[in-house]
Structure 1
Amino acid sequence: MPEEKKKASELYMEKELLLPYTHILKVQGKKLRDKIPVAFNHWFKLPKDTLDKIMDVMGMVYNGTLLIDDIQDNTSIRRGLPSAHCIYGIPLTVNTSLHVITLLLQKLQKLGNPEVITSVLKDFLEIIRGQGTELIWRENFICPTEEQYNQMNRQKTGYMFLMSVHMMQIFSENKTYFDDFVLNMGLYFQLRDDYCNLIKQVELEEYPDAAYSEKGINLDIFCEDLTEGKFTLPIIHAAQTSQGDAVLNILRQRTTDVALKKFCVSELERLGSLEYTRGKLIHLDKYIRDEIKRLGDNPGLTAAMDELLSWK
């Protein structure tokens, strides 16, 4: 086969192999994730070229793992469009996720600092451990303690933020210890996400093209964490009360029944579980803002926190 035809054939196959990843890039959301590294550069002062390369790597980490997450959570809709595995099948989607992770390791090599690969692998392992811990709880119906829930979220979400911060710090003269601060930012981000999943019928910014039922409720995204059987903080709090049996029984069913999920949310409100969660969010919001001031102020991070206040 002539060299040009061989190259064209290889490019075609590469495009086909990455179709699930290309699909998920069409439905990117949570732009706040992108704003965090940019905001931290207020302190790190990296050149734009270096920051762009790190942002590119983080995009591949996030979207590459999201392909697997949607399979693990049996998510059929991702921000208004079918999830990648629903279109391309589970086998190819899993393979594509592994493909993307391998490609990002090649990108890390091109950054020219072996310390970066070591740092990313260490943080990535924490993300995988956090995700795995949540899956064990869900699949075995084990209700964790609040502290276990917090630790899992610091791993699953906190280290996703911390990965970019660690990479940036390798190329920066600023060696301030940010780990605890960033991990708690991740905890706040995930706790807010879990809370909003229960109290907001539809996140219009995240699902602009979603199809709704006649009553205006998107059946695929309405309280989807209940359908997935996730142990979130409101659920954990309710389970610790003397009247939380109904909530746990509904969670165990992984129901798609909207009326039943509405009843579950009303029970979480009645038991004080949603109010308790709101209190935790307020406390974390204050902690993060105080830390931003202590670390020398950061307009980008403050703006990001202001944006997150939409949960109130």
Structure 2
Amino acid sequence: MVPLPALPRMLLAEGFQRMLEGQSPQRDLRALFEEAEMEAHRLLLDMDLAWRRQQPESHLYAAIRHDPLSRLLAYELYAICGYYVQLMSISGSPEVGAAALLRTLIASDVRTDHLLQHTTLRFEALPRDVVTGERLHPCEAPVEAFVKECLLLERDAFGRFRFDPRGDNRLLMHCLKLDDIVKTPKSFSVVLDPLVRRYGNFDLDRAVVYQGRWMQHRLACREEEHRVDERLPLLETVGVKNSTGEADTSGFNEDLTFIVRYNDPICRRHKETSLEKEADKCHVEVFELAVEDTARTFWEKWFLDR
């Protein structure tokens, strides 16, 4: 567990506690989550300020400034506080605004953060075997921890729709574009990395085409399990009785009925194609890579590969 400064975490925990008790008005819960969001945002704004070095939690701010995992967790804390601020809003569909806020934060603030970008590119640049994806040099522990958490974050946020465009780019993870990954066997080896295979939950199918000279790849995201309890159904119709006993403006005095989808990702789809939307299909990246002929002589490689 990576520690973060206590104040925003305590405010968020207090908001959860009051929400579970069910005794506090919605406006009070929203005010509490707004205060937690403000303090969480301050973690990211104040990490470079000199006066924070004299504070009791100065080492935690130093970790947010220099450690990629701590920086990512600070973004996650900021995102979850803002998410519940939106859920506590007076709206017929508050989850739409909450999902939009979280999607925007991941697609802009997290993706463009210089420290996180540099860490992701360091992971991509590791030398690997182009066939198996095994690393030829060890990876630093902070880089591995960040990549693991980043993959888990995007799986929770987007589910099997992670390849939908974000900022007009389809991304493998964080700032790694699919268009750049699928160009050469060397660039594609990051998908075969043991850490990505273990925590990425990708589905990769291969088939030999063009008389064995090319290998066709089909890369997609597998289904995710978003339910906190596997005994919950995929969706459920929930009815809430009208406790006021008063009719609405239309003259009807009916109970409120809505559908709860337990297995949907946090962020809804944003830029899917019409086919993907109508068929509820996720994007499949299809590309072909040349198969190296291992029987070629040195001079054949020398003249033909120039």
Q: Give the structure with the larger helix fraction.
A: 1
Q: Rg bigger for which structure?
A: 2
Which has a greater percent of strand? Answer: 2
Tell me the TM-score normalised to structure 2 length: 0.29
TM-score, scaled to structure 1? 0.28
